[in-house]
A = this chain, B = another copy of it.
């Protein structure tokens, strides 16, 4: 054990070593900057890093990692801090690596439908660049997260029912490992059966196996024609049943979001819309005009079988944008409607046949516990969220909210689902890892130990570090 004085000296030496290696202004212990890197967008308790560094190249990240090894200090990668489970909160302190300065779109290979980006590029920044080529990047988690962060948590969102999740888009990562070595996890080939699938392993590893310094991602042609619509139902069961019917009919949906009454109410308040306060599906279809017209006609027959109270479509760009903005603003609507409170979002994903039951069970949980919250879901994937606004000074409320989260998670796990569909484990879902993965968690621990034996990479996230 080091004394406090020895700790201070070691830290000062590390800061000097970092400043000698990087430029002075890339290394800071400024209190305000430390505080900015102590939290994310969730209710999880903040914790300060000792030092924040702003690398500009992969070589710099490698050098930082080697110093961290030398000083045996944790390293936590940081994007824009939009995560919801405390992934980037440095509970063991140490160095936070902020990727803000590594924010270049390096290459657009339009014939190959791929781009190379640095980890600090945000998805809106990428889409702005891609638009020039008639291309787009589909993964849309709501927040304007960095692509490095989205890869680290395997983010997804509204479009994964058609385009897949973040992991499906990653062709290659340049990764700086715990020992400072740099590897590539894939190639520019659209598919490969060569070696173990390191792409898949590193995506979703939440900074516990390495820091991403470059990403090669799939991109897509902007669809010729897009239709968006809203369908209103009497019950959540009807809305979910309609989605299953649409999927079984083979109608390719690009987005399908369930928004419950409470959430519609918040949307109306925030976005000044006057949507009917009923369980609603927000839908989007991508394709050609003739095909979509045929699909939509077929779909109208299907939703009618599920007591649909009304369905409206928009093909006009402005109207479509307004509709999706309303959906996107849902979390902000809750935040806006509850000043001073912090957001907790649950995130289970269940087999779609279990979704209506799970949503009803969640609603019942809110009522039983006397909590207020909205329910919304990426219905095509069986993933849904409860949005709760918490008063962090009210311990009883927090306890109830955590009870509610457990209520939802246990229901999902017992039905073959997962405790997190898209937000990741971080600190919030760690206690469910053993229940979800059983002995597979030992395999994860072995992988972590093999690749980061001194456990300096985002310690105690995803898997608990033995002996720490």
Contact = CB atoms under 8 A, between A and B. Distances in A.
Contact of A190 (B192, B196, B352): B352
A197 B203 contact: yes
In the complex, which of the residues A110, A114, A195, A449 has the most CB atoms of chain B within 10 Å of its own CB atom?
A195
B350 A167 contact: no
Interface string A401-422: 0000000000010011111111
B189 A421 contact: yes
Nearest to A288: B294
Interface in A212-269: 220-224, 244, 247-250, 252
A364 interface: no
Interface of A: 109-114, 134, 153-156, 160, 164-165, 167-168, 177, 181-185, 187-201, 203-205, 209, 220-224, 244, 247-250, 252, 287-295, 298, 347, 349-353, 380-383, 412, 415-425, 429, 432-433, 436-444, 446-451, 462-463
Contacts of A380: 190
A406 to B, nearest CB: 15
A193 B444 contact: no
Given A189-B418, A222-B250, A197 B439 contact: no
A194 B109 contact: no
17 contacts: A153-B193, A165-B191, A167-B197, A183-B443, A184-B437, A190-B380, A191-B421, A192-B349, A196-B447, A197-B197, A198-B443, A201-B201, A221-B250, A290-B291, A291-B295, A449-B450, A450-B450
Contacts of A382: 112, 189-190
B247 A221 contact: yes
When A and B form their complex, which 5 residue pairs have the shortest distance between CB atoms, in order from nearest?
A291-B291, A200-B200, A188-B416, A221-B250, A192-B418
A397 to B, nearest CB: 26
B433 A195 contact: yes
A225 B114 CA distance: 30
Contacts of A114: 351
A464 to B, nearest CB: 12
A61 B166 CA distance: 35
Nearest to A206: B193
A195 B113 contact: no
A167 B288 contact: no
Contacts of A383: 189-191
B295 A194 contact: no
Contacts of A433: 194-195
A134 B245 CA distance: 13
Contact of A168 (B168, B198, B439): B168
Given A224-B250, A352-B112, A419 B194 contact: yes
A203 B168 CA distance: 14
Nearest to A200: B200
Contact of A293 (B198, B247, B290, B293): B290
Given A164-B164, A197-B201, A446-B450, 19 more contacts: A111-B248, A111-B353, A164-B168, A181-B439, A183-B440, A184-B440, A185-B440, A187-B418, A191-B383, A194-B432, A194-B437, A195-B433, A196-B204, A196-B448, A198-B443, A198-B444, A223-B250, A252-B287, A443-B451
A275 to B, nearest CB: 27
A341 to B, nearest CB: 25
